[in-house]
C-alpha cells in the first residue's frame, strides 16, 4: 500500500491571487470545510473525508505553500494572509451553511475567517489549536526559529515534518504509507518554504505583527457565541496543551467537549474512531448540537 491509496481523491485547484490553491472536494450536501496547520496538509483529513462524503460536501484545502498548492519563494506567509486566502476561497466557491473543522494553525486561520463572515458558518469543531497569542512556545519549536540554524533545520534537514510523524502522535511511529503521505509535499528546500515561514510567524511578544492579529481574533470570537461549537482534544498534546482547551472552554462555555486521553497532537492518527464518533454526533442537523 502507498500513501496514494490512503488519499484516493481528485485534485482541484482554485486561483488565489496569482497562486493556485489545491483542495479536495467529495460528496454533496452542506459543506464540511477542513483547515490544516503546520506541517500537515489535506492528507491529515483523509479519513474524515471518506467517512462523511456520503452525507456532506467534504472540502479540505492546502494552504498556499503547503501540500499540493503552489509554493512561491517570496510570499507573505502570515496568519493574516493565510486567513485572507481562505476567505477568498470560501467566497469563490460560494460556500454557505459551513461546518468548519480546524486543527493546529488552521484553528487561527479558520476561526478568523468564521469571525469575518459568520453568516456563512453553521457549526464549528475545534481540535488541538489556539486562536489567541501563545501562552508559551515549546523549546523544540523555538529552536526552529533560531537565525541560520532554524532554516537549516527546517528547510535543509526537514526536521519539523520528520519529527512530527513521531512526536505528534502517541503511536510514536506511524505506518510507513502514512508517514510517507505527510512527508510527500515537503521533499526539497524550496518545497519547505512555508513550513519555515509558519514557525517564524508564531509571535513571541507583542512586537511581532501577528500578536495583534491573534489578540483581535480572540476578541472577535465573541461573534461566534451563538454558533454550536464542539471541542475535540488530544490530551497528550505537548504543543497545544490542555491549557489551550481550557481557554476555549472559557470562550465557548456551552461547547460540547470531548477529551481523548490517550491521543496526542495528531489526534486523528491516534484516535480516528473517537474523533469520527464525536463528529457523527455533532455535524448533522438531525443530531444534538453538542
Average pLDDT over residues 81-94: 98
Q: pLDDT band for 109, please (50, 70, 90 cuts).
A: very high
Average pLDDT over residues 158-174: 88
- pTM of the predicted model as reported, rounded to 2 decimal places: 0.95
Residue 290 has pLDDT above 50, yes or no: no
In the structure grid, which three cell numbers stand for residue 1, read together? 500500500
User: Which pLDDT does position 140 carry in this prediction?
Assistant: 64
Q: Which helix (H) or strand (E) holds 244?
A: helix 242-251
User: Which pLDDT does position 151 carry in this prediction?
Assistant: 77
Name residues whose C-beta falls within 8 Å of residue 281's C-beta, 6 or more positions apart in sequence. Answer: 256, 287, 288
User: Which pLDDT does position 157 carry in this prediction?
Assistant: 77
**CA pseudo-torsion sign 100, 103, 105, 107:** positive
> What are the chain's domains?
3-282 (3.40.50.1820)
| Averaged pLDDT score across all residues of the chain | 93
Average pLDDT over residues 106-131: 98
Average pLDDT over residues 107-135: 96
Average pLDDT over residues 114-123: 98
Residue 129 has pLDDT above 70, yes or no: yes
> Cβ–Cβ contacts within 10 Å for residue 278, how many?
20
Residue 289 has pLDDT above 90, yes or no: no
In the structure grid, which three cell numbers stand for residue 52, read together? 462523511
| Residues 73, 116: Cα–Cα separation, whole Å | 28
Residue 4 has pLDDT above 60, yes or no: yes
User: Which pLDDT does position 288 carry in this prediction?
Assistant: 43
> For residue 43, with 0-12 CB atoms within 10 Å meaning exposed, 13-18 middle and 19 or more buried, which class applies?
buried
Q: pLDDT band for 159, please (50, 70, 90 cuts).
A: confident
User: Which pLDDT does position 267 carry in this prediction?
Assistant: 98
Judged by DSSP in three states, 84 sits in helix
Amino acid at each position: 500500500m502507498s500513501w496514494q491509496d490512503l488519499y484516493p481523491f481528485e485534485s482541484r485547484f482554485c486561483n488565489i491571487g496569482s497562486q493556485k490553491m489545491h483542495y479536495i472536494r467529495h460528496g454533496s450536501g452542506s459543506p464540511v470545510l477542513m483547515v490544516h496547520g503546520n506541517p500537515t496538509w489535506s492528507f491529515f483529513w483523509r479519513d474524515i473525508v471518506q467517512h462523511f462524503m456520503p452525507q456532506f460536501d467534504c472540502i479540505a484545502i492546502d494552504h498556499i505553500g503547503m501540500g499540493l498548492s503552489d509554493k512561491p519563494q517570496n510570499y507573505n506567509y502570515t496568519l493574516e494572509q493565510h486567513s485572507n486566502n481562505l476567505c477568498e476561497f470560501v467566497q469563490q466557491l460560494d460556500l454557505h451553511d459551513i461546518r468548519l473543522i480546524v486543527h493546529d494553525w488552521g484553528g487561527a486561520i479558520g476561526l478568523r475567517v468564521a469571525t469575518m463572515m459568520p453568516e456563512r458558518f453553521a457549526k464549528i469543531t475545534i481540535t488541538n489549536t489556539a486562536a489567541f497569542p501563545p501562552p508559551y512556545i515549546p523549546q523544540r519549536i523555538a529552536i526552529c526559529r533560531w537565525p541560520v540554524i532554524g532554516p537549516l533545520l527546517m528547510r535543509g534537514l526537514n526536521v519539523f515534518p520528520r519529527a512530527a510523524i513521531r512526536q505528534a502522535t502517541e503511536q510514536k511511529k506511524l505506518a510507513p504509507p502514512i508517514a510517507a503521505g505527510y512527508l510527500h509535499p515537503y521533499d526539497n528546500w524550496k518545497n519547505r518554504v512555508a513550513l519555515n515561514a509558519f514557525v517564524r510567524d508564531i509571535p513571541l511578544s507583542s512586537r511581532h505583527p501577528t500578536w495583534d492579529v491573534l489578540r483581535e481574533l480572540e476578541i472577535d470570537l465573541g461573534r461566534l457565541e451563538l454558533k454550536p461549537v464542539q471541542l475535540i482534544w488530544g490530551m497528550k498534546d505537548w504543543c497545544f496543551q490542555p491549557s489551550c482547551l481550557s481557554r476555549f472552554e472559557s470562550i465557548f462555555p456551552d461547547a460540547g467537549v470531548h477529551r481523548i486521553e490517550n491521543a496526542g497532537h495528531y489526534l486523528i492518527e491516534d484516535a480516528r474512531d473517537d474523533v469520527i464518533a464525536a463528529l457523527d454526533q455533532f455535524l448533522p442537523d438531525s443530531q444534538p448540537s453538542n
